[in-house]
Amino acid sequence: MLHKLKRTPSDLDLLTSEILTEMKACNADSDEFKVMLKRLERVYKLKTIDGQKRVSPDVVASIAGNLAGIVLILHFEKVNVVASKALGFVMKLK
């Protein structure tokens, strides 16, 4: 089983927490609060753009396992000529 790695907070995470603490100190009806709300929305948009670049470790493990299985099957069929339908056991793409 894969364990999640502890990640350090990014600059965007720190900026988000700063803005939220400043917003707690302001009145919700003030102009300053509205400005901070717009800043917070922009930071969240940046976080979604930044978060799309990563590939899940589960996906990488699944791909590596499938490739290893294919290589083992092909090697076995090369050495021991057997007509098998072993490729049907490999996980199909979704």
Domain assignment present for residue 38? The answer is yes
- Widest CA span in the chain: 78
Q: How far, in Å, CA of 51 to CA of 59, rounded? A: 16
Let me know if 27 is exposed, middle or buried by CB neighbors in 10 A (0-12, 13-18, 19+). exposed
- Give which of 73, 59, 80, 77 is closest to 90, Cα–Cα: 73
Domain assignment present for residue 63? The answer is yes
Low-confidence ranges of the chain (pLDDT < 50): none
Q: Are 78 and 23 in contact (CB under 8 A)?
A: no
Domain assignment present for residue 75? The answer is yes
Is residue 46 located within the same domain as residue 21?
Answer: yes
Domain containing 23 equals: 11-51
Is residue 39 located within the same domain as residue 65?
Answer: no
Predicted TM-score (pTM) above 0.85? no
pLDDT of residue 85: 64
pLDDT of residue 66: 92
